[in-house]
Structure 1
Amino acid sequence: MIGDSTMSEKEVRAYPETGWGTPFAHYFESDVVVENHARNGRSTRTFLEEGRWDPIKENLNEGDYVFIQFGHNDEVQSKPQSTTKEEYQTNLVKYVTETLARNAQPVLLTPIARRHFDQNGDLVDTHELYSELMREVAQSENVPLIDMDRKSQELLKSLGPEKSRFFYNHLEPGQNPNYPNGLEDDTHFNELGARKMAELVIESIRELNLDLKQKIVQ
Protein backbone atom coordinates (compact mmCIF):
# COMPACT_ATOMS: atom_id res chain seq x y z
CA MET A 1 0.00 0.00 0.00
CA ILE A 2 1.40 3.39 -1.01
CA GLY A 3 -0.38 6.66 -0.45
CA ASP A 4 -1.07 9.51 1.93
CA SER A 5 -2.54 10.14 5.38
CA THR A 6 -6.00 8.78 4.58
CA MET A 7 -4.39 5.34 4.14
CA SER A 8 -1.42 5.43 6.53
CA GLU A 9 -0.71 3.92 9.94
CA LYS A 10 -0.82 6.49 12.76
CA GLU A 11 1.25 7.20 15.84
CA VAL A 12 -0.46 6.98 19.22
CA ARG A 13 -0.30 10.76 19.57
CA ALA A 14 -2.63 11.10 16.54
CA TYR A 15 -5.40 8.89 17.95
CA PRO A 16 -8.32 8.71 17.18
CA GLU A 17 -7.14 9.57 13.64
CA THR A 18 -6.97 6.28 11.73
CA GLY A 19 -5.99 5.51 8.16
CA TRP A 20 -8.16 2.96 6.37
CA GLY A 21 -5.10 0.80 5.76
CA THR A 22 -5.06 -0.18 9.44
CA PRO A 23 -8.37 -2.09 9.53
CA PHE A 24 -7.91 -3.20 5.91
CA ALA A 25 -5.08 -5.53 6.93
CA HIS A 26 -7.44 -7.57 9.12
CA TYR A 27 -9.90 -8.55 6.38
CA PHE A 28 -7.64 -11.27 4.96
CA GLU A 29 -6.57 -14.77 5.81
CA SER A 30 -3.44 -15.08 7.93
CA ASP A 31 -1.13 -15.95 5.01
CA VAL A 32 -1.73 -12.55 3.39
CA VAL A 33 0.91 -9.99 4.38
CA VAL A 34 -0.22 -6.36 4.12
CA GLU A 35 2.61 -3.79 4.10
CA ASN A 36 1.32 -0.26 4.59
CA HIS A 37 3.95 2.18 3.29
CA ALA A 38 1.59 5.16 3.08
CA ARG A 39 2.73 8.30 4.91
CA ASN A 40 1.05 11.50 5.99
CA GLY A 41 1.43 14.46 3.65
CA ARG A 42 2.89 12.59 0.69
CA SER A 43 2.09 13.15 -2.96
CA THR A 44 3.01 11.03 -5.95
CA ARG A 45 6.12 13.20 -6.31
CA THR A 46 7.39 13.40 -2.74
CA PHE A 47 6.89 9.66 -2.20
CA LEU A 48 9.30 9.16 -5.08
CA GLU A 49 11.73 11.95 -4.12
CA GLU A 50 12.12 10.62 -0.58
CA GLY A 51 13.21 7.25 -1.95
CA ARG A 52 10.21 5.41 -0.56
CA TRP A 53 9.21 3.70 -3.80
CA ASP A 54 12.48 2.14 -4.94
CA PRO A 55 12.87 -0.42 -2.11
CA ILE A 56 9.21 -1.36 -2.39
CA LYS A 57 9.57 -1.87 -6.13
CA GLU A 58 12.74 -3.94 -5.77
CA ASN A 59 11.08 -6.30 -3.31
CA LEU A 60 7.96 -6.95 -5.36
CA ASN A 61 7.31 -10.52 -6.39
CA GLU A 62 4.96 -12.12 -8.86
CA GLY A 63 1.47 -12.23 -7.40
CA ASP A 64 1.93 -9.19 -5.16
CA TYR A 65 -0.51 -6.31 -5.30
CA VAL A 66 0.31 -2.61 -5.03
CA PHE A 67 -2.59 -0.42 -3.94
CA ILE A 68 -1.84 3.17 -5.05
CA GLN A 69 -3.86 6.05 -3.61
CA PHE A 70 -2.64 9.62 -3.98
CA GLY A 71 -4.37 12.90 -4.74
CA HIS A 72 -5.13 14.78 -1.54
CA ASN A 73 -1.73 16.46 -1.49
CA ASP A 74 -1.09 16.45 -5.22
CA GLU A 75 -4.15 18.56 -5.98
CA VAL A 76 -3.72 21.41 -3.44
CA GLN A 77 -1.51 23.79 -5.40
CA SER A 78 -0.69 25.86 -2.31
CA LYS A 79 1.12 22.87 -0.79
CA PRO A 80 4.84 22.43 -1.54
CA GLN A 81 4.28 18.74 -2.31
CA SER A 82 1.63 19.43 -4.97
CA THR A 83 1.97 18.25 -8.56
CA THR A 84 0.78 19.53 -11.90
CA LYS A 85 -1.83 17.51 -13.77
CA GLU A 86 0.83 16.19 -16.13
CA GLU A 87 3.24 15.32 -13.34
CA TYR A 88 0.52 13.52 -11.39
CA GLN A 89 -0.33 11.28 -14.32
CA THR A 90 3.32 10.69 -15.20
CA ASN A 91 4.05 9.58 -11.64
CA LEU A 92 1.03 7.28 -11.56
CA VAL A 93 2.12 5.68 -14.83
CA LYS A 94 5.60 5.15 -13.34
CA TYR A 95 4.16 3.30 -10.33
CA VAL A 96 1.96 1.21 -12.61
CA THR A 97 4.56 0.27 -15.21
CA GLU A 98 7.27 -0.51 -12.67
CA THR A 99 4.85 -2.69 -10.70
CA LEU A 100 3.86 -4.58 -13.86
CA ALA A 101 7.54 -5.01 -14.73
CA ARG A 102 7.90 -7.05 -11.54
CA ASN A 103 4.91 -9.23 -12.53
CA ALA A 104 2.90 -7.69 -9.71
CA GLN A 105 -0.58 -6.18 -9.95
CA PRO A 106 -1.11 -2.41 -9.52
CA VAL A 107 -4.51 -1.19 -8.33
CA LEU A 108 -5.30 2.53 -8.54
CA LEU A 109 -7.60 4.15 -5.98
CA THR A 110 -9.01 7.63 -6.39
CA PRO A 111 -8.73 9.85 -3.28
CA ILE A 112 -11.47 9.45 -0.70
CA ALA A 113 -13.96 12.29 -0.46
CA ARG A 114 -13.61 15.07 2.04
CA ARG A 115 -16.71 15.69 4.14
CA HIS A 116 -17.66 19.10 2.73
CA PHE A 117 -21.36 19.92 2.57
CA ASP A 118 -22.58 23.31 1.34
CA GLN A 119 -25.26 25.45 2.97
CA ASN A 120 -27.96 23.52 1.12
CA GLY A 121 -26.73 20.23 2.54
CA ASP A 122 -25.24 19.08 -0.77
CA LEU A 123 -21.85 17.34 -0.79
CA VAL A 124 -19.15 19.30 -2.63
CA ASP A 125 -16.89 17.30 -4.95
CA THR A 126 -13.40 18.36 -3.83
CA HIS A 127 -11.39 15.80 -5.87
CA GLU A 128 -13.11 16.13 -9.23
CA LEU A 129 -10.07 16.95 -11.37
CA TYR A 130 -7.42 14.66 -9.87
CA SER A 131 -9.81 11.75 -9.56
CA GLU A 132 -10.61 12.08 -13.25
CA LEU A 133 -6.88 12.23 -14.04
CA MET A 134 -6.42 8.93 -12.22
CA ARG A 135 -9.37 7.38 -14.04
CA GLU A 136 -7.69 8.32 -17.31
CA VAL A 137 -4.47 6.59 -16.25
CA ALA A 138 -6.33 3.44 -15.21
CA GLN A 139 -8.02 3.34 -18.60
CA SER A 140 -4.93 4.11 -20.67
CA GLU A 141 -2.79 1.59 -18.79
CA ASN A 142 -5.61 -0.98 -18.55
CA VAL A 143 -5.25 -1.56 -14.82
CA PRO A 144 -7.91 -2.03 -12.10
CA LEU A 145 -9.42 1.11 -10.57
CA ILE A 146 -11.23 1.36 -7.26
CA ASP A 147 -13.12 4.62 -7.45
CA MET A 148 -13.07 5.51 -3.77
CA ASP A 149 -13.96 9.12 -4.52
CA ARG A 150 -17.32 8.15 -6.01
CA LYS A 151 -17.95 5.35 -3.53
CA SER A 152 -17.22 7.50 -0.49
CA GLN A 153 -19.26 10.38 -1.92
CA GLU A 154 -22.24 8.07 -2.31
CA LEU A 155 -21.83 6.95 1.28
CA LEU A 156 -21.56 10.49 2.66
CA LYS A 157 -24.56 11.65 0.63
CA SER A 158 -26.65 8.77 1.96
CA LEU A 159 -25.78 9.74 5.53
CA GLY A 160 -26.10 13.49 5.13
CA PRO A 161 -24.26 16.32 6.91
CA GLU A 162 -24.96 15.21 10.48
CA LYS A 163 -24.59 11.43 10.51
CA SER A 164 -21.47 11.56 8.32
CA ARG A 165 -19.67 13.47 11.10
CA PHE A 166 -19.30 10.19 12.97
CA PHE A 167 -16.77 8.89 10.41
CA TYR A 168 -14.38 11.84 10.79
CA ASN A 169 -12.51 13.46 13.66
CA HIS A 170 -14.87 15.80 15.44
CA LEU A 171 -13.83 16.27 19.05
CA GLU A 172 -14.98 18.68 21.73
CA PRO A 173 -12.38 20.56 23.82
CA GLY A 174 -11.18 18.30 26.61
CA GLN A 175 -12.64 15.17 25.02
CA ASN A 176 -9.30 13.70 23.97
CA PRO A 177 -5.85 14.41 25.48
CA ASN A 178 -4.24 14.41 22.04
CA TYR A 179 -6.45 17.33 21.02
CA PRO A 180 -7.11 19.32 24.22
CA ASN A 181 -8.60 22.23 22.25
CA GLY A 182 -10.90 19.98 20.24
CA LEU A 183 -10.79 19.14 16.54
CA GLU A 184 -12.89 19.62 13.42
CA ASP A 185 -11.28 17.45 10.74
CA ASP A 186 -13.33 16.44 7.71
CA THR A 187 -10.46 14.80 5.82
CA HIS A 188 -9.12 12.17 8.22
CA PHE A 189 -11.11 9.30 9.68
CA ASN A 190 -11.67 8.00 13.16
CA GLU A 191 -11.70 4.24 13.76
CA LEU A 192 -15.28 3.83 12.58
CA GLY A 193 -14.71 5.83 9.42
CA ALA A 194 -11.47 4.01 8.60
CA ARG A 195 -13.20 0.66 8.97
CA LYS A 196 -16.07 1.77 6.73
CA MET A 197 -13.65 2.95 4.03
CA ALA A 198 -11.74 -0.33 4.25
CA GLU A 199 -15.02 -2.17 3.74
CA LEU A 200 -15.61 -0.17 0.55
CA VAL A 201 -12.21 -1.31 -0.73
CA ILE A 202 -12.95 -4.92 0.17
CA GLU A 203 -16.29 -4.65 -1.62
CA SER A 204 -14.49 -3.29 -4.69
CA ILE A 205 -11.95 -6.12 -4.72
CA ARG A 206 -14.88 -8.51 -5.03
CA GLU A 207 -16.56 -6.38 -7.70
CA LEU A 208 -13.37 -6.28 -9.77
CA ASN A 209 -13.02 -10.04 -9.38
CA LEU A 210 -9.37 -9.74 -8.38
CA ASP A 211 -7.74 -13.03 -7.40
CA LEU A 212 -7.10 -11.44 -4.01
CA LYS A 213 -10.80 -11.82 -3.25
CA GLN A 214 -10.19 -15.50 -2.53
CA LYS A 215 -8.17 -14.48 0.52
CA ILE A 216 -10.83 -12.26 2.06
CA VAL A 217 -12.14 -13.64 5.33
CA GLN A 218 -15.78 -14.52 4.76
Structure 2
Amino acid sequence: MPTQPRPLRRIWPLSLLLLLLTAFTGPTAPPKKLRLYLIGDSTIAQKVRQTFPETGWGMPLSTFFDTTVVVDNRAQNGRSTRTFLAENRWQPIVDALQPGDYVLIQFGHNDESEAHPDRYTPPADFRRNLLKFVQETRAKNAYPVLITPVTRRKFKDGRQQETHAPYSAATAEVARAQQVPLIDLDRMSRELLQQFGEENSKLLFLQLAPGDHPNYPYGRNDNTHFSELGARKMAQLVVGEIKAQQLPGLSGHLARPLPKNAVPPAAPGQDAQPTTP
Protein backbone atom coordinates (compact mmCIF):
# COMPACT_ATOMS: atom_id res chain seq x y z
CA MET A 1 0.00 0.00 0.00
CA PRO A 2 1.58 3.29 -1.07
CA THR A 3 2.55 5.64 1.76
CA GLN A 4 0.90 9.04 1.97
CA PRO A 5 3.26 12.04 1.48
CA ARG A 6 3.96 13.95 4.70
CA PRO A 7 2.48 17.50 4.76
CA LEU A 8 5.00 20.25 4.16
CA ARG A 9 5.97 22.23 7.29
CA ARG A 10 5.31 25.94 6.98
CA ILE A 11 8.50 27.98 7.27
CA TRP A 12 7.81 31.45 8.61
CA PRO A 13 9.91 34.28 7.23
CA LEU A 14 12.19 35.80 9.88
CA SER A 15 10.73 39.26 9.31
CA LEU A 16 7.24 37.97 10.04
CA LEU A 17 8.41 36.26 13.23
CA LEU A 18 9.99 39.51 14.41
CA LEU A 19 6.78 41.38 13.61
CA LEU A 20 4.71 38.90 15.64
CA LEU A 21 7.19 39.11 18.52
CA THR A 22 6.93 42.89 18.54
CA ALA A 23 3.14 42.72 18.50
CA PHE A 24 3.12 40.56 21.63
CA THR A 25 5.79 42.45 23.54
CA GLY A 26 4.56 45.96 22.64
CA PRO A 27 6.64 49.04 21.86
CA THR A 28 9.50 49.99 24.16
CA ALA A 29 8.61 52.93 26.38
CA PRO A 30 10.77 56.01 25.74
CA PRO A 31 13.05 57.02 28.62
CA LYS A 32 11.44 59.33 31.15
CA LYS A 33 12.40 62.95 30.70
CA LEU A 34 13.83 64.84 33.66
CA ARG A 35 13.00 68.54 33.74
CA LEU A 36 15.58 70.99 34.95
CA TYR A 37 13.87 74.29 35.78
CA LEU A 38 15.88 77.50 35.98
CA ILE A 39 14.52 80.47 37.92
CA GLY A 40 16.27 83.77 38.33
CA ASP A 41 17.12 86.99 36.53
CA SER A 42 18.61 88.32 33.30
CA THR A 43 22.01 86.71 33.87
CA ILE A 44 20.33 83.32 33.22
CA ALA A 45 17.38 84.16 31.00
CA GLN A 46 16.66 83.44 27.35
CA LYS A 47 17.34 86.45 25.10
CA VAL A 48 15.58 87.74 22.01
CA ARG A 49 17.32 88.42 18.70
CA GLN A 50 17.20 92.16 19.26
CA THR A 51 19.57 91.87 22.24
CA PHE A 52 22.07 89.45 20.68
CA PRO A 53 24.95 88.84 21.42
CA GLU A 54 23.73 89.18 25.04
CA THR A 55 23.37 85.61 26.33
CA GLY A 56 22.08 84.22 29.63
CA TRP A 57 24.04 81.32 31.07
CA GLY A 58 20.89 79.21 31.03
CA MET A 59 20.84 79.27 27.23
CA PRO A 60 23.78 76.92 26.54
CA LEU A 61 23.07 74.71 29.58
CA SER A 62 21.09 72.04 27.71
CA THR A 63 24.11 71.23 25.50
CA PHE A 64 25.89 69.80 28.55
CA PHE A 65 23.23 67.09 29.14
CA ASP A 66 21.96 64.08 27.23
CA THR A 67 18.54 64.02 25.61
CA THR A 68 16.75 62.71 28.72
CA VAL A 69 17.19 66.11 30.42
CA VAL A 70 14.92 68.98 29.38
CA VAL A 71 16.15 72.41 30.48
CA ASP A 72 13.13 74.65 31.12
CA ASN A 73 14.45 78.18 31.51
CA ARG A 74 11.88 80.34 33.36
CA ALA A 75 14.32 83.08 34.41
CA GLN A 76 13.23 86.61 33.48
CA ASN A 77 15.04 89.89 33.00
CA GLY A 78 14.75 92.32 35.90
CA ARG A 79 13.16 89.92 38.38
CA SER A 80 13.93 89.60 42.05
CA THR A 81 12.61 86.85 44.31
CA ARG A 82 9.78 89.21 45.31
CA THR A 83 8.64 90.13 41.80
CA PHE A 84 9.07 86.56 40.52
CA LEU A 85 6.54 85.48 43.14
CA ALA A 86 4.26 88.51 42.82
CA GLU A 87 3.92 88.03 39.06
CA ASN A 88 2.83 84.41 39.58
CA ARG A 89 5.86 83.02 37.75
CA TRP A 90 6.58 80.45 40.47
CA GLN A 91 3.25 78.74 41.04
CA PRO A 92 2.98 77.27 37.49
CA ILE A 93 6.36 75.63 38.04
CA VAL A 94 5.21 74.14 41.36
CA ASP A 95 2.08 72.81 39.68
CA ALA A 96 4.14 71.17 36.91
CA LEU A 97 6.90 69.65 39.07
CA GLN A 98 7.25 65.88 38.95
CA PRO A 99 9.21 63.67 41.39
CA GLY A 100 12.89 63.76 40.50
CA ASP A 101 12.79 67.10 38.68
CA TYR A 102 15.27 69.83 39.59
CA VAL A 103 14.93 73.56 40.24
CA LEU A 104 18.08 75.67 40.00
CA ILE A 105 17.55 78.94 41.88
CA GLN A 106 19.75 82.03 41.37
CA PHE A 107 18.59 85.47 42.46
CA GLY A 108 20.24 88.49 44.04
CA HIS A 109 21.08 90.99 41.29
CA ASN A 110 17.71 92.70 41.43
CA ASP A 111 16.88 91.88 45.05
CA GLU A 112 19.86 94.00 46.16
CA SER A 113 18.95 96.98 43.93
CA GLU A 114 17.84 99.59 46.49
CA ALA A 115 17.72 102.20 43.73
CA HIS A 116 14.77 100.28 42.20
CA PRO A 117 12.08 99.94 44.89
CA ASP A 118 9.85 98.08 42.43
CA ARG A 119 12.17 95.08 42.70
CA TYR A 120 14.28 95.59 45.84
CA THR A 121 13.99 92.84 48.44
CA PRO A 122 15.57 93.25 51.90
CA PRO A 123 17.88 90.36 52.90
CA ALA A 124 15.41 88.98 55.47
CA ASP A 125 12.64 88.80 52.85
CA PHE A 126 15.10 87.39 50.34
CA ARG A 127 15.85 84.51 52.71
CA ARG A 128 12.13 83.85 53.26
CA ASN A 129 11.52 83.77 49.51
CA LEU A 130 14.38 81.32 48.93
CA LEU A 131 12.98 79.16 51.71
CA LYS A 132 9.59 79.13 49.98
CA PHE A 133 11.18 77.97 46.71
CA VAL A 134 13.05 75.21 48.55
CA GLN A 135 10.15 73.93 50.64
CA GLU A 136 7.60 73.92 47.83
CA THR A 137 10.03 72.15 45.49
CA ARG A 138 10.65 69.45 48.09
CA ALA A 139 6.93 69.09 48.72
CA LYS A 140 6.66 67.80 45.14
CA ASN A 141 9.53 65.33 45.70
CA ALA A 142 11.73 67.39 43.41
CA TYR A 143 15.24 68.69 44.08
CA PRO A 144 16.09 72.36 44.78
CA VAL A 145 19.61 73.70 44.20
CA LEU A 146 20.58 77.16 45.45
CA ILE A 147 23.08 79.22 43.46
CA THR A 148 24.78 82.38 44.71
CA PRO A 149 24.41 85.35 42.30
CA VAL A 150 26.97 85.34 39.52
CA THR A 151 29.46 88.18 39.87
CA ARG A 152 29.49 91.51 38.11
CA ARG A 153 32.78 92.54 36.51
CA LYS A 154 34.41 95.01 38.90
CA PHE A 155 38.19 95.30 39.20
CA LYS A 156 40.16 97.41 41.64
CA ASP A 157 43.96 97.48 41.58
CA GLY A 158 43.90 94.43 39.32
CA ARG A 159 41.68 92.37 41.62
CA GLN A 160 38.12 91.30 40.91
CA GLN A 161 35.86 92.58 43.70
CA GLU A 162 33.01 90.87 45.51
CA THR A 163 29.75 92.43 44.31
CA HIS A 164 26.96 90.49 46.05
CA ALA A 165 28.25 89.80 49.57
CA PRO A 166 25.00 90.12 51.63
CA TYR A 167 22.87 88.18 49.15
CA SER A 168 25.44 85.47 48.50
CA ALA A 169 25.76 85.04 52.26
CA ALA A 170 21.97 84.82 52.64
CA THR A 171 21.79 82.17 49.89
CA ALA A 172 24.51 80.10 51.55
CA GLU A 173 22.77 80.49 54.92
CA VAL A 174 19.50 79.06 53.60
CA ALA A 175 21.38 76.21 51.89
CA ARG A 176 23.11 75.27 55.15
CA ALA A 177 19.97 75.51 57.26
CA GLN A 178 17.90 73.44 54.82
CA GLN A 179 20.71 71.10 53.75
CA VAL A 180 20.23 72.08 50.14
CA PRO A 181 23.01 71.68 47.54
CA LEU A 182 24.76 75.01 47.02
CA ILE A 183 26.60 76.11 43.89
CA ASP A 184 28.76 79.08 44.87
CA LEU A 185 28.72 80.72 41.46
CA ASP A 186 29.60 84.10 42.99
CA ARG A 187 32.96 82.81 44.18
CA MET A 188 33.68 80.66 41.13
CA SER A 189 32.84 83.42 38.65
CA ARG A 190 35.08 85.88 40.53
CA GLU A 191 37.92 83.39 40.32
CA LEU A 192 37.27 82.94 36.60
CA LEU A 193 37.38 86.69 35.97
CA GLN A 194 40.60 86.94 37.94
CA GLN A 195 42.12 84.23 35.74
CA PHE A 196 41.13 86.15 32.61
CA GLY A 197 42.43 89.41 34.04
CA GLU A 198 41.03 92.92 34.01
CA GLU A 199 41.28 93.46 30.26
CA ASN A 200 40.58 89.98 28.86
CA SER A 201 37.58 89.49 31.18
CA LYS A 202 35.74 92.01 29.01
CA LEU A 203 35.41 89.18 26.49
CA LEU A 204 32.99 87.44 28.88
CA PHE A 205 30.59 90.39 29.04
CA LEU A 206 28.54 92.50 26.67
CA GLN A 207 31.40 94.84 25.82
CA LEU A 208 31.07 96.26 22.31
CA ALA A 209 32.67 99.18 20.53
CA PRO A 210 30.51 101.40 18.29
CA GLY A 211 29.84 99.55 15.04
CA ASP A 212 30.70 96.10 16.42
CA HIS A 213 27.13 94.87 16.16
CA PRO A 214 23.99 96.31 14.52
CA ASN A 215 21.96 95.75 17.71
CA TYR A 216 24.27 98.19 19.51
CA PRO A 217 25.30 100.82 16.95
CA TYR A 218 26.71 103.08 19.68
CA GLY A 219 28.51 100.26 21.47
CA ARG A 220 27.89 98.77 24.89
CA ASN A 221 29.79 98.79 28.18
CA ASP A 222 27.95 96.19 30.26
CA ASN A 223 29.65 94.46 33.18
CA THR A 224 26.60 92.44 34.26
CA HIS A 225 25.31 90.61 31.19
CA PHE A 226 27.27 88.02 29.26
CA SER A 227 28.55 87.50 25.76
CA GLU A 228 28.11 84.05 24.22
CA LEU A 229 31.55 83.10 25.53
CA GLY A 230 30.79 84.39 29.02
CA ALA A 231 27.46 82.56 29.22
CA ARG A 232 29.09 79.29 28.18
CA LYS A 233 31.87 79.72 30.72
CA MET A 234 29.36 80.35 33.52
CA ALA A 235 27.28 77.34 32.43
CA GLN A 236 30.45 75.23 32.55
CA LEU A 237 31.03 76.31 36.15
CA VAL A 238 27.50 75.23 37.09
CA VAL A 239 27.82 71.89 35.29
CA GLY A 240 31.19 71.28 36.92
CA GLU A 241 29.57 71.59 40.35
CA ILE A 242 26.66 69.32 39.36
CA LYS A 243 29.25 66.70 38.47
CA ALA A 244 31.48 67.33 41.51
CA GLN A 245 28.57 67.16 43.95
CA GLN A 246 27.13 64.05 42.25
CA LEU A 247 23.60 65.45 42.29
CA PRO A 248 21.34 62.38 42.24
CA GLY A 249 19.54 61.65 39.00
CA LEU A 250 21.22 64.59 37.25
CA SER A 251 24.98 64.13 37.28
CA GLY A 252 24.53 60.78 35.54
CA HIS A 253 22.93 62.46 32.53
CA LEU A 254 25.75 64.77 31.55
CA ALA A 255 26.58 64.55 27.86
CA ARG A 256 29.59 62.38 27.20
CA PRO A 257 32.39 63.86 25.09
CA LEU A 258 33.15 62.35 21.72
CA PRO A 259 35.96 59.78 21.76
CA LYS A 260 39.33 61.27 20.93
CA ASN A 261 39.40 59.95 17.34
CA ALA A 262 35.69 60.21 16.62
CA VAL A 263 34.56 61.75 13.35
CA PRO A 264 32.35 64.77 14.09
CA PRO A 265 28.97 64.93 12.33
CA ALA A 266 29.04 66.73 9.01
CA ALA A 267 27.33 70.06 8.57
CA PRO A 268 24.22 69.94 6.33
CA GLY A 269 25.27 69.51 2.72
CA GLN A 270 28.85 68.50 3.58
CA ASP A 271 30.63 65.20 3.84
CA ALA A 272 32.25 64.31 7.14
CA GLN A 273 36.03 64.49 7.05
CA PRO A 274 38.12 61.89 8.86
CA THR A 275 39.95 63.11 11.93
CA THR A 276 43.72 62.75 12.07
CA PRO A 277 44.78 60.89 15.24
The verdict on a shared fold, with TM-score over 0.5 as the criterion, is yes
CA deviations 1:124-164 (Å, max 9, x no partner) are: 11111110010000000110000000000111111110111
| Aligned match for 1:182, one of 193, 214, 219 | 219
CA deviations 1:49-73 (Å, max 9, x no partner) are: 0000001001101000000000000
Q: Which residue of 1 aligns with 2:7?
A: none
Aligned positions, number: 217
Given the two structures, how large is their TM-score scaled by the length of structure 2? 0.77
Gaps of 5+ in 1: none
Runs of 4+ aligned structure 1 residues displaced above 3 Å come to: none
Q: Which residue of 2 aligns with 1:104?
A: 142
Q: Which residue of 2 aligns with 1:158?
A: 195
Q: 1:1-150 to 2 correspondence within 5 Å?
A: 1-79=38-116, 80-118=118-156, 120-150=157-187
Whole-angstrom distance in 2 between the partners of 1:122 and 1:33: 38
Q: Hey, which of these two has a bigger chunk of helix by percent? A: 1
Given the two structures, how large is their TM-score scaled by the length of structure 1? 0.98
Whole-angstrom distance in 2 between the partners of 1:29 and 1:205: 14
Amino acid at match of 2:244: E
Whole-angstrom distance in 2 between the partners of 1:29 and 1:121: 39
Gaps of 5+ in 2: 1-37, 257-277
Amino acid at match of 1:127: H
Whole-angstrom distance in 2 between the partners of 1:174 and 1:155: 28
Give the secondary-structure state (helix, strand or coil) at the position aligned to 2:85. Answer: helix
Whole-angstrom distance in 2 between the partners of 1:177 and 1:156: 27
Q: Which residue of 1 aligns with 2:204?
A: 167
Q: 1:206-217 to 2 correspondence within 5 Å?
A: 206-211=243-248, 212-217=250-255
Amino acid at match of 1:154: E
Q: CA deviation at 1:113?
A: 0.6
Q: CA deviation at 1:208?
A: 1.0
Amino acid at match of 2:208: L
Q: CA deviation at 1:123?
A: 1.2
Identical columns (%)? 51
CA deviations 1:144-193 (Å, max 9, x no partner) are: 00000000011111111011111001111111111111000010001000
Q: Which has the higher contact order (CA 8 A, sep 6+)?
A: 1
Give the secondary-structure state (helix, strand or coil) at the position aligned to 1:41. Answer: coil
